[in-house]
Amino acid sequence: MKELPLQPRQIFQVYDAGLRPDQHPPARNPFPGVVVLIEDRGRVLLGRRAEGRFLGGRWCLPGGFIEYGEDFLSAGLREVREETGLDVRIESILSVVSNFLTPKLHTLVVVLLAHLVSVRESARPGDDIDALAWHPLEGPFPEMAFDADSHIISRFHATHLDGAPVDERFSALRVI
């Protein structure tokens, strides 16, 4: 006897163990994000989060959420542009980290390494950042908003590992 493939309703029942759609808890997935470690002559650029924003007054690497329909490299370039006014060249993926920030906010963040496209460009804060400052890779750092950022910078300084390179065709897209 020939076996017939499962029909959609049967797949739903097998997967659900018989639960009706109204019995499922809402999906709780981490929010995808990106941060960019911009390195220049042994320094890293940090931004102070604006008062009234999540963890306002504390410092962080430039970054934010990846928007729907956006790839992570474009998100990194966009976030750097919005928060610092700088154009950067993304060199590599340094890491991927999970942040459990609140009981309702879990992020999964791609960590990118970038360098300035032009050293003549000056940074200017924007979006949810109200100040920018270059800090030595070895620290000390101001009060950081996210523990992962301190760890990322310290690990980069200690290892000098460049991470996994990104395809050059996608490393310096222009954000409009």
Asked whether residue 19 is assigned to any structural domain, the reply reads no
Contact by Cβ (8 Å): 42, 137 = yes
Instruction: With cut-offs at 50, 70 and 90, classify the pLDDT of residue 102.
Output: confident
Query: Does residue 13 sit within a domain?
Result: no
We report the CATH number of the domain holding residue 112 as: 3.90.79.10
Model confidence at 19: pLDDT above 60: no
Q: Per residue in 115-135, pLDDT tens? A: 999 877 788 999 899 999 999
Structural domain for 106, as ranges: 29-165
Decide if 141 is inside a domain: yes
Classify residue 175: in a domain, yes or no. no
Query: What's the whole-number mean pLDDT along residues 101-105?
Result: 87
Spell out the residues 6+ positions from residue 32 whose beta carbon is closer than 8 angstroms to its own.
65, 66, 72, 107, 108, 109, 110
4 within some domain: no
Residue 138 lies in a domain: yes
3-state helix, strand, coil in the chain (%, to 5): 25, 35, 45
Phi, psi of 66 (to 5 degrees): -85, 125
Segment 34-48 mean pLDDT: 97
Q: How far is CA 124 from CA 55, 127, 128, 176, in A?
A: 20, 10, 12, 17
Query: Does residue 46 form part of some domain?
Result: yes
- Paired residues of 111 in beta bridges: 35, 95
Report pLDDT for 8.
41
Contact between 109 and 151 under an 8 Å Cβ cutoff? The reply is no
Could you report the per-residue pLDDT of 130-172, keeping only the tens digit for each? 999 999 999 999 999 999 999 999 999 999 898 999 987 765 5
> How many domains does the structure of the chain reveal?
1
> Length of the chain, please?
176
Task: Inform me whether the pLDDT recorded for 48 exceeds 60.
Answer: yes
Instruction: Give the model's confidence band at 108: pLDDT under 50 very low, under 70 low, under 90 confident, else very high.
Output: very high
Count the neighbouring beta carbons within 10 Å of the beta carbon of residue 63: 24
